[in-house]
Structure 1
């Protein structure tokens, strides 16, 4: 579920990046120690030692702040392709699992999902910011694999992404990183199978 998140720019004076870091760090700490519901703007301001208006100048509200905190745990850097489809998909699986299993992410994601359920526009904004760039990167990886003959040219890239995201998210929320190596290998084998399957054959 990796998604690159960058705090939103604001008009006026340039922002102090040190204040940004204090806010994000305070939010992460509160998520881990107090949970999503207790991570309010006021609580973050107290922990960061700033006034709440400093947060509102940077983020419209709690949900956006939590998104940038949690999804910013991922650097936005995708695994570097090696030319080995199994190794590459294993690296993606490990990245997704590690990001979702971070304590702050495990604390925040259930609350965020509940918020998205009530407002689809917010979820589609998240898709634009994070998921679609990730799908595009997977598409490039699989196109290169297809050129080498190790993946089907018409494999279902979005299905691969959905399996990758759904399996790692559920695993992270329920088991964290327990037995992660065995889990990542099972999911990788499944992804390779899907990558090698032609959607044309399935349609027939």
Structure 2
């Protein structure tokens, strides 16, 4: 079972203050850019956000879950609406993956998150759920190819990924390898 990492508390009492969630996510993004994944701590994030570590622990099961939500916010991974054209839909997927993975915060978080998802099945499930939902039920192999291609290309030649690259990958995925 996968649970949303920032779902509202279901317990009675005072409603959760969304401003704290926003401040924590903002502080996490800032610190990722300043100190990188390895330099992050819940204490530093809480101090930057003007809250406490227990407030973070009530909202996110771990630092890794918090970083995942900060690096890949819902608006970056919003579901794609089918256009009726396979080529347009694949291009939108490739462009969306590039936008999500190339974002400076996502790039700062990626090395740590890759290590974390291999060690944390719950985080792995949350990550898969978020990206699968963004692609609107697209077949898993296509999700793997688009995400894997984009992620690896960002590692190898991040400065060469532009609309032309998106078009080339789209063509390869929709038309295959030219003979």
| Residues 100, 173 of structure 1: 8 Å contact kept | no
| Residues 78, 134 of structure 2: 8 Å contact kept | no
Count of residue pairs brought into register by the alignment: 171
Structure 1: segments with no counterpart, 5+ residues: 140-156, 195-204
| 1:165 CA drift (Å) | 0.8
Larger radius of gyration: 1
Alignment of 1:47-196 (within 5 A): 47-72=48-73, 74-127=75-128, 129-134=129-134, 137-139=136-138, 157-176=139-158, 178-193=160-175
Cα pair distance change 1:107/1:169, threshold 3 Å: same
Cα pair distance change 1:179/1:71, threshold 3 Å: closer
Using the alignment, how far apart are the partners of 2:22 and 2:125 within structure 1? 26
Query: Which portions of structure 1, spanning 4 or more consecutive aligned residues, are displaced by more than 4 angstroms?
Result: none
Aligned equivalent of 1:31: 32
Using the alignment, how far apart are the partners of 2:97 and 2:123 within structure 1? 21
2:100 alignment partner, SS class: helix
1:187 alignment partner, SS class: helix
Cα pair distance change 1:89/1:104, threshold 3 Å: same
Aligned equivalent of 1:145: none
